[in-house]
Amino acid sequence: MLAYSRPFWPLFLHVLGAMTLFGAILAAVILSGVAWRRPDLAFLRTATFWALVSGIPDFVVLRVGAQWIYSKEGFSGNNDPTWIGIGFAASDTGLLLLLVTTGCAYWWRRGGKPLAGRIVAGLSSLYLVLLAVAWLAMAGKWG
């Protein structure tokens, strides 16, 4: 009911970007976990890389929608609710994690180093947890 009172397109784009980003990172977690245990299946390393690359436009849509609805709702940065701060922190940290993980996935795809696979699996899992925390904060309106 609360979403009904919000502007439609900014919220739609934000949620669409968040859902597709979560799906891309979940795919990367699953693919990297399987590819790390089965190094003979090289196509899984490539699929992991492309899952992470597909998360970059998803992140852009999430962030543009978030900023759009932030400005439409009249927030100014002073006395914002806690859930907005959690969302911005997850977004800013998440971009760094996404780019580093994508770089490591490229390294893993090109070199096949097991260490790179472990890094990709760990960082993508960490990013998935970060997205889940932001999701819970946004859904529960903490603070």
Predicted TM-score of the model (pTM): 0.91
Q: What is the pLDDT of residue 122?
A: 97
pLDDT at 5: 65
Q: Where are the domains of the chain?
A: 8-140
How far, rounded to the nearest angstrom, does the alpha carbon of residue 68 sit from its chain's CA centroid? 18
For residues 61 and 55, what is the distance between their CA atoms, to the nearest angstrom? Answer: 10
Cα(124)–Cα(119) distance, integer angstroms: 8
pLDDT digits (tens, 9 = 90+) for 109-132: 999 999 999 999 999 999 999 999
Q: Please write the tens of the pLDDT for every residue from 11-33.
A: 999 999 999 999 999 999 999 99
